[in-house]
Amino acid sequence: MNEKNVAKKILKEIFQMARDLGREVRFMDVCGTHEDTITRGGIRALLPENVKIIAGPGCPVCITPVEDIVAMMEIAKKKDMIVTTFGDMYRIPTPMGSFANLKQEGYDIRVVYSIYDSYKFALKEKKLVVHFSPGFETTTAPTAGILAEVWEKGLENFKIYSVHRLTPPAVEFLIEEGTNFDGLITPGHVSSIIGVRGWEYLTRRYKIPQVVSGFEPLDVLLSILLLLKMLREDHVEIENEYTRGVRYEGNTAAQKAIEEFFEVKDAKWRALGVIPKSGYFLRKKYEDLEIRTFVDVEIPELPDLEAGCRCGEVLRGLILPTECPLFGKVCTPQYPVGPCMVSYEGTCQIFYKYGSLTG
């Protein structure tokens, strides 16, 4: 059976399940790649009217605090260095400008594909290299791996500015805050690191069904079907649809590497506020790898978003981007007002990119 026929079969079952439930249900995805698959594939438009997909805080670049971006820029002005970061972070707007603006002023800001590229710069250059390092668990694992290399070699001209975050606490924050959803399409790549067991407590504590999902359209459709089936049968658990990429225990070697270098503390998320136990910070033992140990700057509290920007509501799953009056008019990828329009994982950019497929 080809993929088209499989999709038709799954959709037929989805419609039957939705009719059996007889009420509106809302499923949240917390992954930019999932949101891309859902929007690019026109999946929202294919679903029954009573099955809604909402997008949560699945973009690590979008939720990086303004104060941290500005602090990194101010650090770069104080000390001669190479600053590296990712392409979408490079353009994230703040009230004090962006890394792209800093580059235009003549500072050495370089866009990299991964932290490994930054590490290679440090091996070749005598200059200090500082990687501004955002990302969820999937990105934190390779960061820990590179830090192990740096520590072992005693490489003194490589530091990071860690703005890594944990995903499950953000979902718990939304639940506690009152965001209404009936099930979670759980991100496969994060789960490949923390495993199914990293999410279990949410289902146990809040009775929220979850399906760890892969990233193909059929993966997402099947995950929606499994969530509907659990709701219809009143059987709440966490299922692993993405068995080809995720084990129950996750990647234990990656977990050990993260735990070796990072400790978990309360942390701020842009447009969401402080979320308990949601940030990765370098342990005391490895503080020499953190640029803030050597260069201290004081940054005043800054507004998270420009007036009228509704990225905070998008990140909370309260609205879709098309409900923001700035979307596609004042705010576009060329002239973004908020972070959700800059990052390729941002829900606003994804909606803008795929236009009529948004459903």
pLDDT tens digits along 273-305: 999 999 999 999 999 999 999 998 999 889 999
Long-range contacts of 19-22 (CB under 8 A, 24+ apart): 19/48, 20/232, 21/50, 21/228, 21/231, 21/232, 22/50
Q: What is the CATH number of domain 31-300?
A: 3.40.50.11740
For residue 1, give both structure tokens: 């059976």
pLDDT band for 3, please (50, 70, 90 cuts).
confident
Judged against a pLDDT cut of 70, whether residue 46 lies above it is answered with yes
Exposed/middle/buried for residue 278 (C-beta within 10 Å: 0-12, 13-18, 19+): buried
Q: Which residues pair with 290 in a beta bridge?
A: 160
All residues at 6 or more sequence positions from 22 whose CB lies less than 8 Å from its CB, including other chains = 50
State the amino acid at position 350 in one-letter form: I
CA 345 distance to own-chain centroid:
7
pLDDT at 356 over 80: no
For residues 67 and 268, the answer to whether their CB atoms sit within 8 Å is: yes
Query: What percent of the chain has pLDDT above 90?
Result: 96
d(CA 57, CA 50): 23
Q: What is the pTM of this model?
A: 0.94
Please state, in angstroms and as integers, the Cα–Cα distance from residue 158 to each residue in 118, 121, 126, 137, 214, following that order.
8, 9, 10, 21, 35
Residue 355 has pLDDT above 90, yes or no: no
3-state DSSP helix/strand/coil % of the chain, to nearest 5: 45, 20, 35
Q: How confident is the model at residue 247 (pLDDT cuts 50, 70, 90)?
A: very high
For 90, the token pair is: 């490079």
pLDDT score of 219: 98
Model confidence over 62-95: pLDDT tens digits? 999 999 999 999 999 998 999 999 999 999 999 9
The per-residue pLDDT for 358 is 61
Estimate the crossing angle of helix 252-261 against helix 137-153, to 10 degrees.
60
The model's confidence at residue 223, banded by pLDDT at 50, 70 and 90, is very high
Where in the chain are the domains?
A: 31-300, 311-354
Q: What is the mean pLDDT of the chain?
A: 96
Structural contact between residues 322 and 336, judged by C-beta atoms closer than 8 angstroms: no
Q: Kind and range of the H or E element at 350?
A: helix 347-354
* Chain CA centroid to CA 296, Å: 27
pLDDT given at position 76: 96
Listing DSSP states for 228-291 in one string gives HHHHHTT---EEES-TTT--TT--HHHHHHHHHHEEEEEEEETTTEEEEEEEEEE-GGGGGGBG
**Could you please report the per-residue DSSP string of 140-199?**
HHHHHHHHHHHHHHT-TTEEEEEEEB-HHHHHHHHHHHT---SEEEEEHHHHHHHTGGGT
C-alpha torsion sign, points 229, 225, 173, 135: positive
Token pair belonging to 129:
């290299």
